[in-house]
Amino acid sequence: MNVIETSGLGKKYGRTWALRECAIAIPEGSLAALVGPNGAGKTTLMQMLTGLVVPSAGTATLLGDQAPGSAVSLDGIAFVGQDAPMYKNLSAGDMLHLTRNLNRTFDLQYAQTRLAELGIPLKKQSGKLSGGQQAQLALTLALARRPRLLILDEPLAMLDPLARHDFMAIVLTAMTDQGVSVLLSSHAIPELERVADYLVLLSSGQVQLAGEVEYLLAHHRVLTGPAAEADSYAARLEVVLTRRAEAQAHLLVRTGEPPEPAAPGWEEHQISLEELVMSYLRAPGAEVRALVPQEVAS
């Protein structure tokens, strides 16, 4: 089953498309990294998935066959934004009770236990908690709803390294213990490489790359060789990006099945997730969607 599936999904504001022709299929149980520069359409996509924004084109389904914004989908998803929105004058305990009263499902005991383990006082005003504590409170409120899908919009942006580590540890525990699937928007690509098993790369309002991380890394490689031979060699390959130095050229290429061996005089190197993302963002014609084929479990 796919927890998120879209086809031709788009949102237009006036004459400008914030997102267009978005087609992704994220399998259940994934931690999907949603990456891209500011203005790429990440927040717009998440707002459409949560039912906060109505699409201008295309369709989206959640948790198999639920429409965004429907009662069933809202019961099954939880959302945490970058600024950990909450009533700053209410205590952490008040936030637990308010969230419980606003939702049909809320595990109060779980939430209280988690905050106690984190050393977050229930009587302390939310606005007086540290940034890391506010993020953990927002995450606790989301997970206590027992969602099947957790959508996180830049939750790590304002956190120090230790707080980021602690936040992600709780997310990974929820995936293991509760079976939660996760869509995580973040600019912290090196940290995503450790945890993400699915990638959605947006640029200029379009999907530029999407698929299982293992598949994507296995089907890309960097070839390094004489700059003088780069153009003739590149003509035989599916090149994403070419970088040249005085004597050498570096070609990021997509490979077939099985990949052909490098030509004589050329060396091949594996690529990291960060290198893959940055190469696609720097590639000419970045506005053209490049969706890598994949097998998606139904």
Residue 142: which CATH number? 3.40.50.300
| Same domain (yes/no): 166, 254 | no
pLDDT along the chain (298 residues), means of 10: 95 94 95 93 94 94 92 91 79 94 93 93 92 90 95 85 87 93 90 91 92 92 91 89 87 84 90 91 55 42
For 100, the domain range is 2-212
Q: Which of the listed residues 212, 227, 262 is the one where a domain comes to its end?
A: 212
| Same domain (yes/no): 45, 118 | yes
Gap between the Cα atoms of 242 and 166, Å rounded: 38
Q: Are 156 and 164 in contact (CB under 8 A)?
A: yes
Please report whether residue 261 resides in a domain: yes
| Same domain (yes/no): 43, 78 | yes
**Total of domains in the chain:** 2
| Same domain (yes/no): 196, 269 | no
The DSSP line for 132-145 is: HHHHHHHHHHHHTT
> Based on the number of CB atoms within 10 Å of its own CB, is 101 exposed (0-12), middle (13-18) or buried (19 or more)?
exposed
Instruction: Determine the pLDDT at residue 57.
Output: 96
